């Protein structure tokens, strides 16, 4: 039986005292493209760090690809936030992508001792680069590339190990509009082979290729049904958008923006403003 890509039950997490995430439930089938939205400080990035095993949950069940977080190694591809890499680091594009093949544990520290493995790494890195359309840039210095190109290099690094699940933290932040469009087209193509979870506070990135949306603001509401349908389009004109998820950019616009159906989950996004009291347990 195939595991869901992500299974979360009654998860909570706290930095010190206050809970950042509470009563989180999510079952994400393999093959989905999930956009995780929500206000800054709402717990989006914390959720990603939990999935990666970088922080441990306070309680609840969390399985990624059927395993405990942090156990899956190269089966999970990860794109950290844009700012985590120094712009002037002396490394070639190919070298940066090859680092995505590092082995976990102490065996990964001494990898250069095996020349045959290094050759195989270079070939895999070149393949990943051609997949993101940058094979011709392999020998250039990473710092000579544009922001959009660099982001695609980091996607190549994330997919070079052939992952089943791709976790992206704000992939379209700090790239221009055209690059953003190309990036989303690339992600849509990658989604044919792997499950994708993308954290974003930028609503304009959520376009047709996203198959479901999770709103995270302390709790999580999964809009699994929210495929873009004519019915939702039709609804968009008449609905008071601010009463649904607090998607400000969408709230200012009209069709063809995606509009999520209203729901009465109290902790989800805009709902939290209506009443503070939480009555968890109603899994979406």
Considering only the stretches 5-13, 31-39, 87-95, 243-251, report the one whose residues sit in contact with another protein under the rule CB under 8 A. 87-95
CB 78 within 8 A of CB 154: no
Q: Is 16 in the site for another protein (CB under 8 A)?
A: no
CA dihedral sign, ordered 84, 65, 222, 266: negative
Structure token pair of residue 47 = 């959720």
Among 29, 31, 39, 53, binds another protein (CB under 8 A): 53
Considering only the stretches 109-117, 170-178, 187-195, 246-254, report the one whose residues sit in contact with another protein under the rule CB under 8 A. 109-117
Instruction: Tell me the C-alpha distance between 93 and 61, whole Å.
Output: 38
- Residues 155-184 contacting another protein, CB under 8 A: 157
**Peptide bond preceding 256: is omega within 30 degrees of 0, i.e. cis?**
yes
Instruction: Tell me the C-alpha distance between 168 and 78, whole Å.
Output: 6
Query: Between 18 and 109, whose beta carbon lies closer to another protein?
Result: 109
SS3 call for 199? strand
Structure token pair of residue 45 = 């990035």
Among 95, 147, 162, 284, binds another protein (CB under 8 A): 95
CA dihedral sign, ordered 171, 176, 180, 182: negative
Among 13, 33, 78, 82, binds another protein (CB under 8 A): 78
Q: Is 76 in the site for another protein (CB under 8 A)?
A: yes
Q: Is 150 in the site for another protein (CB under 8 A)?
A: no
* 92 DSSP assignment: B
- Residues 238-267 contacting another protein, CB under 8 A: none
Q: Which chain residues interact with another protein by CB under 8 A?
A: 52-54, 70, 73-74, 76, 78, 80, 84-86, 88-92, 95-96, 99-100, 102, 104-106, 108-112, 141, 144, 157
């Amino acid at each position: 039986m195939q595991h869901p890509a992500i299974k979360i039950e009654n998860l909570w997490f706290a930095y010190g005292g206050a809970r950042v995430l509470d009563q989180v439930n999510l079952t994400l089938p393999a093959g989905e493209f999930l956009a995780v939205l929500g206000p800054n400080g709402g717990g989006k990035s914390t959720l990603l760090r939990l999935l990666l095993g970088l922080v441990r949950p306070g309680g609840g069940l969390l399985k990624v690809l059927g395993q405990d977080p942090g156990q899956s190694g190269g089966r999970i591809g990860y794109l950290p936030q844009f700012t985590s890499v120094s712009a002037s680091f002396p490394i070639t594009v190919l070298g940066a992508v090859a680092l995505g093949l590092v082995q976990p544990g102490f065996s990964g520290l001494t990898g250069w001792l095996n020349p045959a493995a290094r050759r195989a790494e270079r070939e895999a890195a070149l393949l990943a680069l051609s997949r993101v359309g940058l094979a011709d840039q392999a020998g250039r210095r990473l710092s000579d590339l544009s922001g959009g190109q660099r982001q695609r290099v980091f996607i190549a690094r994330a997919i070079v190990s052939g992952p089943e699940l791709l976790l992206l933290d704000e992939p379209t932040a700090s790239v221009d509009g055209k690059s953003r469009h190309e990036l989303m087209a690339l992600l849509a193509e990658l989604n044919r082979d792997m499950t994708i979870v993308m954290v974003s506070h930028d609503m304009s990135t959520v376009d047709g290729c996203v198959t479901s949306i999770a709103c995270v603001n302390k709790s999580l509401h999964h809009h699994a049904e929210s495929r873009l349908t004519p019915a939702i389009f039709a609804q968009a004109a008449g609905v008071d958008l601010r009463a649904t998820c607090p998607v400000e950019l969408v709230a200012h616009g009209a069709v063809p923006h995606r509009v999520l159906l209203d729901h009465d989950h109290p902790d989800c996004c805009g709902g939290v403003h209506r009443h503070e009291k939480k009555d968890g347990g109603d899994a979406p």
